[in-house]
Amino acid sequence: MSRYLALRLSGAVPTLLGVSILTFLFIRLIPGDAIAARLGTSTALTPEQLAGLRAYFGLDQPLPVQYWSWLTSLLRGDAGYSIRTGRPVLVEIGERLPATLELAAAAALIALLVGLPLGLLSAMRPRTRLDVAARIGGLVGLSLPSFWLGTLIVLVFSLHLRWLPNTGGYVDFLRDPIANLALLLFPAITLGVALAAATMRMTRSAMLDVLGADYVRTAAAKGLRRSLIVRRHVLKNGLIVVVTLLGIQVGQLFGGAVVVEEIFSIPGVGRMLLTAIVQRDYALVQGGVLVIAILFVVVNIVVDLLYGYLDPRIRLS
């Protein structure tokens, strides 16, 4: 297993390097002058001033040199400074990361708690009313835009029923756990619905495949109880497929969080990113994109490891 772990981790290095190159080049895509963009000013600069600033920021160097110095300072924990606040980018992100991680984790939890059992039940009783309802629910859930669902939830639960303040927001879990969870519930549902629907559909289809397998028929022919067959033979084999497919989807939550944080005014990395985009605070945008991409890669590695644990064949090959 440790060999598999080492193999998997080293395999991520080229990907992470690629991510850093792409994120670095991102700032080059910006139309107009990079200096003006970095300074966030529209004031006209004299050519001499511009050249001076260019040299100061190292922009007169060839691209590979610039990339190398950006990467090495990044590895030392320096991702530059926010133009608006003047504070280090990584400090700005670090402060907002807990809210985003908590939101994504809660959404994933909701998706699993709803999607797995529904998918399983639906597969065990195909063509029943429950199955049809779950499948329609799955398709609708996949098609619900989160930015609309969030608005509807605010409309119903905060404006009509007055169950939550319509300002939304975020309270530190350590300061007030109950307020934290109360504010978390609706955003997590908004973010989790699509994943719950996807989970339900994947679980259903994976379980149906396994239920139709020869070894399950053999087990039934031997006279094993159905509940035992499901527990021993169906669940684990079906879950292997679900875990792989789910891995890709769970990481997508970090992207969806941008929208949900905006709707519910949660001060997370996603909302920071949007504000930074509007204010043309490119160092912060670059840092935010990089951090979320790294999180995404890490989640995928964890899922791969889980996959290796569930299915020994993967580890050995």
Cβ atoms of 81 and 283 within 8 Å: the answer is yes
Q: Is 273 exposed, middle or buried (0-12, 13-18, 19+ CB in 10 A)?
A: buried
Q: Which is nearer to another protein, 125 or 175 (CB)?
A: 125
Q: Six-digit token pair at 137?
A: 């629910």
| Angle CA 144–145–150, to nearest 5 | 100
Give first-to-last CA distance, the chain, whole Å.
12
Rounded Cα–Cα distance for residues 309 and 316 (Å): 11
Cβ atoms of 264 and 69 within 8 Å: the answer is no
**Judged by CB under 8 A, which of 6, 21, 65, 91 binds another protein?**
21
Site for another protein in 277-316 (CB under 8 A): 277-278, 285, 289, 292-293, 296-297
Which span (46-54, 59-67, 140-148, 226-234) binds another protein, by CB under 8 A? Answer: 140-148
Residue 213 contacts another protein per CB under 8 A: no
Please name which of 275, 97, 103, 274 lies closest in space to residue 187, comparing C-alpha atoms.
Answer: 103
Q: Which is nearer to another protein, 14 or 64 (CB)?
A: 14
Shortest distance (Å) from residue 32 CB to another protein = 10
15 three-state secondary structure: helix
Please name which of 104, 102, 135 lies closest in space to residue 259, comparing C-alpha atoms.
Answer: 104
The radius of gyration computed from the CA coordinates of the chain, to the nearest angstrom, equals: 24
Provide the residue count of the chain.
317
Interacting residues of 87 by C-beta distance below 8 A, sequence separation 6+: 81
Q: Which is nearer to another protein, 48 or 214 (CB)?
A: 214
Which span (49-57, 108-116, 132-140, 173-181) binds another protein, by CB under 8 A? Answer: 132-140
The answer to whether the Cα torsion of 158, 162, 164, 168 is positive or negative is: positive
Question: Interface mask (CB under 8 A) for another protein, residues 69-108, using x and -?
Answer: ----------------------------------------
Rounded Cα–Cα distance for residues 269 and 81 (Å): 16
Rounded Cα–Cα distance for residues 85 and 94 (Å): 15
Q: Which is nearer to another protein, 68 or 147 (CB)?
A: 147
Site residue total, another protein (CB under 8 A): 51
Rounded Cα–Cα distance for residues 311 and 297 (Å): 21
Site for another protein in 242-281 (CB under 8 A): 251-256, 258-259, 262, 273-274, 277-278
Shortest distance (Å) from residue 132 CB to another protein = 7
Question: Interface mask (CB under 8 A) for another protein, residues 29-58, using x and -?
Answer: xxx---------------------------
Q: Which is nearer to another protein, 239 or 289 (CB)?
A: 289
Q: Which is nearer to another protein, 102 or 262 (CB)?
A: 262
**Judged by CB under 8 A, which of 13, 14, 75, 76 binds another protein?**
14
- Where along the sequence are the contacts to another protein (CB under 8 A)? 14-16, 18-19, 21-23, 26-27, 29-31, 126, 132, 135, 139-140, 142-148, 151-152, 154-155, 159, 205, 208, 251-256, 258-259, 262, 273-274, 277-278, 285, 289, 292-293, 296-297
